Amino acid sequence: MASNTVLQVEALSLATKSKKLVDNVSFSLGKGESLGLVGESGSGKSLTLRAVLGLLPRGIEQTGGVIKSDVRSAMVFQDPRGALDPLCPVVAQVAEVIYYRQKVGRKASRIQALELLEMLGLPDSLKRLDRYPSQLSGGQCQRIVIAMALACKPGILLCDEPTTALDVTVQRQIIETITSLQRELGFAMVFVTHNLAIAAALCSKLCVMKEGQIVEHDDTLSLLQNPTNPYTRMLLDSVLPLPELEGSEQ
Amino acid sequence: MNPIQIDSPRPMGGRKISLASRVWNTPSLLVGGLMFAVLIGLAVFIPFISPYQPSEQNLSAFLQPPSSEHWLGTDQLGRDLFTRLIYAARTDLKIMVLAEIIPFCTGVFLGMLAGYYGKWLNTMISLLTDTLIAFPFYLIVIIVAFASGAGERGIYITFMLVGWIVFARVVKGLSASFREQEWVASAQTLGLPGVRIILRHLLPNVLPQAIVVLMTDMIGLLVAIVTLGYLGIGITPPTPDWGTMIADGRSFITTAWWLSAVPGLAVVYTGIALSLVGDGLADLWRKK
């Protein structure tokens, strides 16, 4: 492992008893880097991510390969409301992670949790009222989930399609929040998405996955400019351009 | 002034509708609660309501039909039936509640452990519950009641042995399904200890369902207490108890049918009240 590599996945294979789901997947991630795993549903990108976290669903096993990492990783889930205990106030959920992970007192952990939520742009009303996940919007819940992930001071943030379940307008805010946090805190990131545009905007390297295998792996720019694999080209072509916006961006 | 919110909160939050108005909109809970409250109220205040003692005999006025003096008549020893009925409610309801406490706690706890940790713990607890459930319930009750002697103690011991199974089974299933949900996985990967996840997160989520089951189970327990009393291996006379009252009235069933019918109806009344409460609670928690 190179000195600044935080995560190395070598020849990872995952399978159920009857079917291979992920086959021979390798990639590595340097400190502060971000890597996009792109592909259609069922291509094994989420499973790969879960394997990194050691969170494989029942019945799926790692049949080969090594995952090497010497830093903490934390995950941001696809469905933010499903990733929060519905019967526990959200601030308490964030504070709890701080309490157990950073070994500070109950009061201090609550103060830190509120600071974290402020940093994530959540409204002040959370400080005064006990709010439950069902009382927050999807975007707010996702910010809470991100706060919980950040509360354990991760070296790697694993994002499993964190914007798929959200409104388009909120998607952008969440992505901006994640990028600015990354700039500030310097964690590495693996970002799983089926949206090539989002991945390209966020990540310096991209892995394109199809049917459990990485079909193309390159720097974002060169991959976008010169896709060698026909599947990558298909993904690129599937991004619909907005004519007016394209003009204004250049 | 509020800071600018990035995205607005949902207009319909879970707890914004007040608890009181939700209860008000759950008629079964209201009716059941009221029925049960009336019964408890009578049981608590019976010494002030009735001029008679439950065991006070009046051999010159036995087997009297209902009158203004004796609201439900008197039994073969001239004891006031209404007074005995309510004092019996005291005995039976007290035992019903007390006998459920330990089984409820053990059942919920074991169920959570089995559902959450799965593997050998689950296998062991499933084996135990399946074995116990294979025996007819009353067979176990009668054997234990005989072994430990008639009276309250036998009922408590029996229920400590078999009462937890219902809760363990329900809670085990629930916990196993919660375990598959992302927030449990998330809590695990974020480094919360298992005990904490079980007590702080799993417990509040399984408790509503467990309480609904508790309500139905209490009805079964009440019927068991009354049955044991009827068979003469439950509450022993002269402590008033619906079961012994039904049994005592048997010989007069053609002449004074109310002696047996009234305590029987009291059991039905309590059963309806409890199942309405359970149903209402289930509704209430679903609505959220």
Where exactly are the structural domains of chain B? 33-45+72-287
The verdict on a CB contact (< 8 Å) between B14 and A137 is: no
Token pair belonging to B75 = 């039994």
pLDDT at position B12:
43
Highest mean pLDDT among A228-242, B94-108, B121-135: B94-108
A29: β partners: A7
Query: CA of A228, closest CA in chain B: separation in Å?
Result: 37
| CA separation for the pair B91, B69 (Å, rounded) | 24
Q: Among all chains, which residue has been given the structure tokens 């090539």? A: A196
Identify which of B221, B5, B140, A228 has the alpha carbon closest to the alpha carbon of residue A218: A228
The verdict on a CB contact (< 8 Å) between A75 and B189 is yes
B27 three-state secondary structure: helix
Residue B238: asked if its preceding bond is cis (omega within 30°), the reply is yes
**Does the beta carbon of A135 lie under 8 angstroms from any beta carbon of chain B?**
yes
User: 10 Å Cβ neighbour count for A140?
Assistant: 28
Cα separation, A171 vs B268, in Å, equals 57
Closest by Cβ to B3, choosing from A74, A96, A124: A124
pLDDT block averages, 10 residues each, chain A of length 250: 76 86 86 87 85 83 85 86 88 90 87 86 78 86 89 88 82 86 88 85 87 84 83 81 60
**What would the 3-class secondary structure string for B77-90 be?**
CCCEHHHHHHHHHH
**pLDDT score of B285:** 80
User: Which residues are registered as beta bridge partners of A188?
Assistant: A156
Q: Does A90 touch chain B (CB under 8 A)?
A: no
Residues of B in contact with A82 (CB under 8 A): 181-183
* B1 chain-A contacts, CB cut-off 8 A: none
Task: Please give the residue of chain B at the shortest CA–CA distance from A132.
Answer: B14
Looking at this predicted complex, what is its ipTM? 0.80
Please check whether residue A75 is in contact with residue B211, taking contact to mean a CB–CB distance below 8 angstroms. no
pTM, 2 dp: 0.81
Neighbours of B268 (CB within 10 A): 12
Residues of B in contact with A131 (CB under 8 A): 13
- Interface A-B, measured as beta-carbon pairs within 8 A, has a size of 93
Q: Which residues of B touch A144 (CB under 8 A)?
A: none
Contacts of B189 in chain A (CB under 8 A): 53-55, 74-75
Could you tell me which residues come within 8 angstroms of residue A218 by beta carbon, excluding any fewer than 6 positions away?
A205, A206
Fold of the B33-45+72-287 domain: MetI-like fold (1.10.3720)
